[in-house]
Structure 1
Amino acid sequence: MPRVKAAAAARKAGPTKRRLAERFPAGEVVTDMAKKQWKLGLPVGQGGFGCIYLADKNSSKSVSTDAPCVVKVEPSDNGPLFTELKFYQRAAKPEQIQKWICARKLQYLGVPKYWGSGLHDKNGQSYRFMVMDRLGSDLQKIYEASAKRFSRKTVLQLSLKILDVLEYIHEHEYAHGDIKAANLLLSCTHPDQVYLVDYGLAYRYCPEGIHKEYKEDPKRRHDGTMEFTSIDAHNGVAPSRRGDLEILGYCMIQWLSGHLPWEDNLKDANYVRDSKIRYRENIASLMDTCFPEKNKPDEIAKYLETVKVLGYAEKPSYQSFRDILLQGLCAMGSKDDGRLGLSLVENGALKAKARTKRKREVPGITGGSLDDTTCSSTKTDETPQGRCLRTRKRVRK
């Protein structure tokens, strides 16, 4: 209990109160709460207060560059990893995810698996660590390298996979609150698989099946990422299912059109909020602004209209949202074939999408935050990609 209180106090204290993480040497062994030992490999990035290392089960061998896991490490009295860890412990155990995949007959579920966590003492200091799946390129890098445009099919395929994730985490009592391209990572080995990461803002909206009440808190106004955060969040209301679906709607518009109408004045949070409210009342106007051509993506308008009528505590019909997006695929003569149609990104440049299995070199870090798990090279702090791992403020003003 004292550790829980200390972590909660650290979250409130803010970044100026947090200690920097010590760099661990390759070969350092940590033991999780289940007494499993993990060997750390080379660091793949360092943030403002913690590090991410390649990792594998402890053995006499050194950790290879193809290691299947990463370990996130922070001083134990820091808050960000503690918040994320609680989500993974409750909702991302491998057996939970596999059970859901089998029950829903999915090919995969885009939630990184949690493999263990614990505390590690070194040089008189205590560190919290978490072991999880290692992932690859983030969509923001791919989006920017693709001239800030995804095809309509890519947007719809991505959104269908994200809906699968949202249904899963919502059914496990959590809302994400910060869906965006930078928090969506591709699998290292399957470029058509996308994973939602960074649960530092994840909120347990329905503990023990009891939904939190709608309550505006001035101290929480505009939480999230300014371009995409929900109207509820702008008003200081805690994340919810409808909020996540609204955020995904804004992402779809940006990915397809290249912009959002309020991006010209992100420093004015109230302007962004008021713009979203105005366009929510007239979704046809939003579509005209973002898609001035005649051939508009009607499925996105219908999606937003459906989100609009959801109550704060109402359970969405996820299949209804999927059906809307599937109708969009059908209207363009396509189908849900699971192919994202994305090119790979290495060192900021587009590469042709791999169509056959090949021997994979470890790519460079691809723009994650400390809350991301990535495939990466061993070059870390001095590379532009490594610098992207420094902790980002979630509210961009």
Structure 2
Amino acid sequence: MRKINKKERTKKEPALDKIAVFEEPEHETIVLGKYRLVVKIRCNDVCHTYYAKDIESNEDVLIKLGSKEKKELSSDFNNSKALQDGTGIPEVKCRGQENEYNILVMNILGPSLEELFTSCSRKFKLKTVLILADQMLKRLEYVHSKFFIHGNIHPSSFSMGIKDYTDVKKVFLTSFSYTRKYSTSNKPVRCNKHKIGNLKYASLNAHAGLEQSRRDDLESLGYMLVHFAKGDLPWQNLKAISKLDLLDKIYRSKKATSISTLCETLPTEFGLYLNYCRNLEFGETPNYSYLVDIFRNLADKLNIEYDFVFDWERD
């Protein structure tokens, strides 16, 4: 990595509309010889994500920086490459290493659904939830068709497109660090070698230490949809003295909360979806068309048009 002078900056910066911008880099920094870090937009326990500029082509990109000691970015790159041809899967350009960092360069995307959820006061209207559900189910169907499970479905795993680069109405599935091949055997095995992902949206089987399969991605998506539509989940604000304690409390709360209670105040279709997901066998192939139709039929019943006008686009 090298510092650059302000004179080397190009005038055009990436569009940052509705993005939760955290901070600019402390120094003007070039990575992999040609990418200038512009602004850090998010961070988690895997990596820091930046908007960046290719100073040779003037193209805007996303760059993830993660510790060399962790293997998540390598997994993200390899899994993204394996899934590259799918609709709503972002293109990864290259990867490399500099100093103590693993670096992943990918196509620029818009805000994550987590950021958009926050911008809408942590609740979406039903129409937005249904339009998102339609696309997110298709993304998971594609990933599963390639014999992968995502393994960490939560709102930050999805981003919208960004103007001038991708379709702003399209949902992209991202963050493939936890993605892995799934087993087609009939019975799950107890397997503690994999992390379970985001605790708030993890499936009951993941909490129980069982190997995950396609059903677990779909169950996690169900919790997301309920959260989007209701604005809260029963286990989201639990107090704990440690992460293990929190893991245990969330698991107990999920087991104790019936689907009918979880989905009260929502149309019955949300409970129908979650019941279907929880009743799938470990190696069973989900009926994705049935799941998509659950929400499309709800939209028809309520005269909701899939016009792709989302809550965050309203004045």
Count residues in correspondence.
Answer: 279
The secondary structure found in structure 2 opposite 1:265 is coil
Contact 1:139/1:181 (<8 A) preserved: yes
Q: Which runs of 5+ in 1 are unaligned?
A: 1-21, 31-38, 98-108, 345-350, 353-397
| Alignment check: 8 A CA contact 2:120 2:311 kept | no
Distance 1:312 1:52, change over 3 A: same
Q: 2:101 and 2:198 mapped to 1: Cα distance?
A: 28
Correspondence for 1:307: 277
- Give the corresponding residue for 1:181: 155
Q: Match of 1:272? A: 250
Report the secondary structure of 1:263's partner residue: coil
Query: In the TM superposition, what whole-angstrom CA distance separates every residue of 1:75-99 from its partner, at most 9, and x where no partner exists?
Result: 545322112112112112xxx22xx
Structure 1 residues 109-140: Cα deviation after superposition (integer angstroms, max 9, x where no partner): 222122233x35x5xx4754332111111222
Q: 2:29 aligns with which of 6, 13, 25?
A: 25
Judge conservation of contact 1:157–1:340 (CA < 8 Å) in 2.
no
Q: Is the 8 A contact 1:55 1:71 kept in 2?
A: no
1: distance between equivalents of 2:312 and 2:173? 18
Match of 1:91 in 2: 83
Secondary structure of 2:64's counterpart equals strand
Q: Shift of the alpha carbon at 1:328?
A: 1.0
1:343 aligned to 2:312?
Answer: yes
Query: Which stretches in structure 2 are left out of the alignment for 5+ residues?
Result: 1-25, 241-245
Pairing partner for 2:74 from 69, 82, 90: 82
Q: 1:75 to 1:249 in 2, by over 3 A?
A: closer
Q: Which amino acid aligns with 1:196?
A: L
Task: State whether structure 2 residue 291 is matched by structure 1 residue 321.
Answer: yes
Partners of 1:199 and 1:90 in 2: how far apart? 10
Structure-1 separation of matches of 2:27 and 2:275: 49
CA distance, structure 1, for counterparts of residue 186 and residue 27 of structure 2: 40
- Give the secondary-structure state (helix, strand or coil) at the position aligned to 2:311: coil
Please tell me the root mean square deviation across aligned C-alpha atoms, in Å. 2.8
Residues 209-231 of structure 1, C-alpha deviation per residue, up to 9 Å, x if partnerless? x559512235657x222221101
Q: 1:238 to 1:328 in 2, by over 3 A?
A: same
> How does 1:191-202 map onto structure 2 within 5 Å?
191-202=168-179
Q: Is residue 44 from structure 1 mapped to residue 39 from structure 2 by the alignment?
A: yes
Give, in angstroms, the shift of residue 262 of structure 1: 2.1
8 A Cα contact 2:119 2:312, kept in partner: no
Deviations 1:289-311 (A, max 9, x none): xx2xxxx3121111112112211
1:169 to partner: Cα distance: 0.9
Deviation at 1:334, TM superposition (A): 1.7
Query: How many Å separate the matches in 2 of 1:69 and 1:186?
Result: 15
> Which one of 110, 130, 143 corresponds to residue 169 of structure 1?
143
Q: TM-score, normalised by structure 2?
A: 0.78
What's the offset of the Cα at 1:170? 0.9
Whole-angstrom CA distance in 2 between matches of 1:251 and 1:331: 22
**Alignment partners' CA distance in 2, 1:23 and 1:199:** 29
Matching residue's letter, 2:248: N
> Where do 1:233-244 residues align within 5 Å?
233-244=206-217
Question: Which residue in the other structure is 1:369 paired with?
Answer: none
Deviation at 1:238, TM superposition (A): 2.8
- After TM superposition, the structure 1 stretch with the greater mean CA deviation from structure 2, 197-206 or 305-314, is 197-206
- How big is the shift at 1:165? 0.6
Using the alignment, how far apart are the partners of 2:236 and 2:101 within structure 1? 39
Change (3 A) 1:74 1:275: closer
The TM-score normalised by the length of structure 1 is 0.63
Of stretches 141-150 and 311-320 in structure 1, the one that deviates more from structure 2 is 141-150
Q: Matched residues in 2 for 1:81 and 1:213: separation?
A: 30
Question: Does structure 1 retain, via aligned residues, the 8 Å contact 2:49–2:62?
Answer: no
Q: Structure 1: how far apart are the matches of 2:282 and 2:255?
A: 15
Change (3 A) 1:69 1:285: same
More displaced 10-residue stretch of structure 1: 267-276 or 240-249: 267-276
Structure 1 residue matching 2:201: 3-state secondary structure: coil
Where do residues 1-397 of structure 1 align in structure 2 (5 Å cutoff)?
25-26=29-30, 29-30=32-33, 39-45=34-40, 52=50, 54-56=52-54, 59=56, 63=58, 67-74=59-66, 76-92=68-84, 96-97=85-86, 109-117=87-95, 119-120=96-97, 125=99, 128-189=102-163, 190-206=167-183, 214-218=188-192, 223-265=196-238, 267=240, 268-279=246-257, 282-288=258-264, 291=265, 296-337=266-307, 339-343=308-312, 352=315
Deviation of 1:315 (Å): 0.9
- Supply the distance in 2 between the matched residues of 1:238 and 1:283 (Cα, whole angstroms): 22
| 1:171 shift after superposition | 1.2
Q: Is the 8 A contact 2:201 2:224 kept in 1?
A: yes
Give the whole-Å Cα distance in 2 for the aligned partners of 1:162 and 1:243.
14
